[in-house]
Each structure stands twice: as structure tokens, then as C-alpha cells.
Structure 1
Amino acid sequence: MTTVFDRALTILDMVIAAELGPGGYPGNVQLTEQTGLDQAQVSRMLKVLASAGLIERTTPVRGWRAGPSYFTLAAASGDQELLRQARPRLRSLVARWHEPAWLSVRADILALTVAAEPSHWSAYVAATPGARTPVWCTGPGRALLLDHSDRQLTELLGHVELIGGGPRAARDVGKLAARNAEARAFGVVIADREFEHDVVDFSAPVRDADGVMVAALSVAVPRFRLADRQDEVASSVVEAAQALEATWHAVGS
């Protein structure tokens, strides 16, 4: 069965192939003809890909080309072994909690999803490869900043307006630093309504063999389904991240 996501990836492939070929940057009409979809469907999927930064408009031709997130995603995908080892960990978390799980890397002030296992409601969170979310108000973003000192957080985010996100998002760097200091002690970020209303992100860092943080493993749970399982979900995410590290390091050694 072909899904909307499959069709969007097909369009992305077409844009990349056209850009590398002699035809130049494709437009909406050309992509509509190539896919056989109606123009409205193609237009919607192009907007989704553009909002994720995977493609962008060219000027003055007004065609489409690869966007910044495509190159970031390609670079992150360079470590194929990490992504390969992450897949069973993500699937086990989804099987256990029936909630979306994903792996993120940092792209400046954004968390970029590089691998994901969705659930029926995963469209509401970042569990789609290529999705980008702010580092300061999401579980994976905050986990990717756990090694940052207060000074480093200020250098990274001091010029950024911390607006948007959910009702419990930090609104200044000092508050973010305090929350991360608390999370650092437990080795897991619990971002309660910091990005989506009534959703809790659980995120744990993933480190390479030298102890350098390279990614974050996350699960998102609606608060009404969380009940008294917060500690259990948090522990399972930490365990999955540690298991990912162990298998990844073993393969690379």
C-alpha cells in the first residue's frame, strides 16, 4: 500500500534527481506530470517537504531544489550503523508503549529527526524523518543540550526569542539551564507540555565510544495515557539509549 509519506519521498527523490540532471530545477507542473498525482496533492506534499527544510524554492526560476535539512539529514545518515542499530530499539519502544519513538541529531538550534517508528498519532510529534523542532522546548532538543554549560547555552540561544512551543516551555536561557541541570542528574529529559499541549517527551542522549553526544532517543506519550507510568517510561528510554550505545560501539570496535 502506498502511503502519503511514500509519495512525498518519491517527490523528494524526483527533485534531487532533476537537480543533479540536465533538466534543472523541477516545478509543480513537471512534478505533477511525473507522479501522475493531481496538482493539489503535489502542491500539499511540496509544502510539507518545504516546511521540513528538505526542499526549497529557487529564484528566479521558481523551481525546487534540495533544502538545508536534506544535507543535514544526509550527513547524519552517514553513520548508517547508528541508524541500523537504532531501528530495533525504536521498534521495541513502540511495541512496549504503543507510542511514537524516534532518533534525533542537532542541527544548530534545531533537533532533526533521522530515524523514526511511528504510531497512529505520530503526525503530532517529530516522529517523521526530516522533521525539525526547536532544541529549547522539546525532549530530544533538550537532551542534545545536556552537555552544554550555562555559558554555552547562552552563546547558542542568547539571541533567540524563546517563543512558541507548549504552555510549559522555558522562556529564557536561565530556566532552560536549570531544567537541564535537573535532567542531567537523572540522565533523561522529561519535557512535559513543552512543545505540544498535553504531550510528554521522554528523551535520553546517545553517545559515541568517546562519550561525545551524537543523538537523542525519544518517546512521546499523551498525558491522558501516561497515568502513573512516568518513571517506567523514562527508564525504558534510558535503557534503550544505553542498549543502542552498547550495540553500536560493539559493531564499531
Structure 2
Amino acid sequence: MTSTFDRGLDLLDAVLAAEVGATGYPGNAQLAERLGLDQAQISRMLKDLAALGLVEREGQGRGWRVGPGYFALAASAGDAGLLGAARPLLRALVSRWHEPAWLSVRSGAVALTVEAQPSHWSSSVAATPGAVTPVWCTGPGRALLIDHTEQELTALLGAMEFVGGGPLAVRDVPALAARNAADRTAGIVVADREFEHDVVDFSAPVRDGSGAVVAALSIAVPRFRLAGRSTEIAESVLGAAHALEVRASSRAGRTAARPTP
């Protein structure tokens, strides 16, 4: 089933394709026809994307173009050192648990998958590069927000309707703040049925040298395959996140130490 977020990503792709193509900045009707949706849906989705800065109106015209948030997101996703360091760690998690593993970064109220290793034993929408999921009801999203105070969460998500997600997803900012506070001590988010029915996301924040969260490393496991291994899986994801911090820092250090040509 195609989610709202999948359609939002398709819409963003359609705006960019039209902008760089021969048709120029697309309007609502053109986008609706391209995606096979009605204009009311397109209008609501564009409003949400505009709120994130991912699209904006083109000057005085009625067409749309990608916005500054899109380029900020692309810049965040373009940390080659972090992605390169993540790949073997993600592969190791998949090899050990036979479940998909992926790396996410945040842009506004969405988490973007920037690196992923699929599993032949299992599949997950989020474990596909370019997948976009909400931050309030997913393991990666909550890990990316794990340091946010309730005031900061209100500034980011206060106007959002907490609709969708899985049966155990939070439904307001105070609940999100409380759940993140409980996970902060352990340093890892275990999101049980928060995004998908009967799926548990194990997600750990990845921090830079200053301690700021820059990414989230995740693995998704169907509940029927947990078999009492939750603690072990959580520890392995947390260990991989810590290893990624060390490897990314080491790579950055080696790059900075190179002599200037």
C-alpha cells in the first residue's frame, strides 16, 4: 500500500522533474495529472511540503519549484564520509539478524533514508534510499529527535496532526516528549508498532564530534521474529551507531590531515 509519505516523495520528484524539464514550473493541475491524484490531494500535499521548505511558489507565478529545504536535505544526505563508514556496519547488522538496516537524516518533520542494506529474508519500505517517513512515529525519526525538549518539539511539530502511524504511535507532543525522555537514558529507541503493525524499529542516534545528533541507524524486525532477542538486537544497533561515530570521526580526521595540493 502506498503511504502518504511515498506520495509526497513522488510529488517532490515530479516538481523537480518538471522544473528541470521543458515544461517549467508545474501547477497543481499538471502535478495532479502526472501523479493520477485529484487536485485537492495535490493542494494539501504541496502545503505540507511547503511548510517543510521542500517546495515553494515560483516568484509571482502559480507554478512550484523545489525550495531551500530540499537543498538543505540534499546537503545533509551528502556526507560521503558518514555514508561510506555506515555501509559495512549496516551489512554486518543484516548478516547477523537477516533484517533490513538503514541510515537516516532529518529534514524538518521527516526522516530521509540515505543509505540502506536490504535483506533477502525481509523487506521494509524505510530501508530504501530516498524513502521519507515521519519523525514522530518511527524509530529513526524519534532517534533523530531524542535530544529535543518538549518546547523544541512543540516548535517543530505543534501544528501537525498526529494522524497515521501504527497502533502504538503517540498522538501529541507531550506523549512524544515523554517517550523520548524514557529512551534517552538507554540511548536507543525501540519503536514497537509505532509506524507499522507488528514491526519493531530499533534505532540509535549517531552523533558528531560536538555530541549533536546527525543521523540515526536502524533495523526493523517483525515482532514474531523477535523471539526474546530484543535486548541483544538493541545492543547490536547501539554498538553499530557508536562504531559509526568513531569511524566517521576517523575518516574526517584523515581527510583534514591531508596536505593541500
TM range (shorter): 0.7 to 0.9
Q: Do the aligned partners of 2:103 and 2:114 also contact (CA within 8 Å) in 1?
A: yes
Q: Could you tell me which residue of structure 2 aligns to residue 155 of structure 1?
A: 155
Equivalent position SS for 1:239: helix
Q: 1:118 offset after TM fit, Å?
A: 1.1
- CA change 1:162–1:19 in 2 (3 A) is closer
Q: Partners of 2:195 and 2:237 in 1: how far apart?
A: 19
**Counterparts in 2 of 1:26 and 1:179: CA distance versus 1, 3 Å:** closer
Q: What is the aligned partner in structure 2 of residue 88 from structure 1?
A: 88
What is the aligned partner in structure 2 of residue 232 from structure 1? 232
Distance, in Å, in 1 between the alignment partners of 2:133 and 2:17 is 27
Q: What whole-Å deviation, never above 9, does each CA across 1:40-89 have from its counterpart, x for those lacking one?
A: xx989xxxxx99x8x99x99xxx998688864552123311111111111
CA contact (8 A) 1:137 1:165 kept: yes
Q: Equivalents in 2 of 1:248, 1:133: separation in Å?
A: 25
> What is the letter of the counterpart of residue 156 of structure 1?
L
For the residues of structure 2 that align with 1:69 and 1:149, how far apart are their CA atoms? 23
Q: Give CA-to-partner distance per residue, 1:212-249, whole Å, 9 cap, x none.
A: 11000000000000110000000000000000000110
Question: Contact 1:69/1:130 (CA < 8 Å) preserved in 2?
Answer: no
Superposed, 1:97-246 pairs within 5 Å as: 97-120=97-120, 121-122=122-123, 124-246=124-246
In 2, the alpha carbon distance for the partners of 1:17 and 1:112 equals: 19
Give the secondary structure class of the aligned counterpart of 1:219.
strand
Structure 1 vs Structure 2 CA RMSD? 3.2
> CA separation in 1, counterparts of 2:229 and 2:103?
22
Using the alignment, how far apart are the partners of 2:154 and 2:35 within structure 1?
39
Q: Distance in 1 between matches of 2:71 and 2:116?
A: 18
- Superimposed CA distance per residue, residues 93-150 of structure 1 (whole angstroms, 9 cap, x where no aligned partner): 111111010111111011111111112432x431111111111100000000111011
Q: Which runs of 5+ in 1 are unaligned?
A: 1-11, 28-41, 45-49
Using structure 2 for the length normalisation, give the TM-score: 0.72
1:20–1:147 distance in 2 versus 1, CA, 3 Å: same
Relative to structure 1, the CA distance from residue 163 to residue 212 in structure 2 (aligned partners, 3 Å threshold; closer, same or farther) is: same
CA contact (8 A) 2:166 2:193 kept: yes
Q: Could you give the per-residue CA deviations for residues 175-213 of structure 1, whole angstroms, max 9, x where no partner exists? A: 111111110000000000000000000000001111111
- TM-score under structure 1 length normalisation: 0.74
Q: Pairwise mapping of residues 2-151 of structure 1 onto structure 2 (< 5 A)?
A: 20=20, 23=22, 71-120=71-120, 121-122=122-123, 124-151=124-151
Q: How many pairs does the alignment contain?
A: 218
CA-CA distance at 1:17 after TM superposition: 8.4
Task: Report the AA paired with residue 184 of structure 2.
Answer: R
Point out where structure 2 has 5 or more consecutive residues left out of the alignment: 1-11, 27-33, 37-44, 254-261
Residue identity in the other structure for 1:177: A
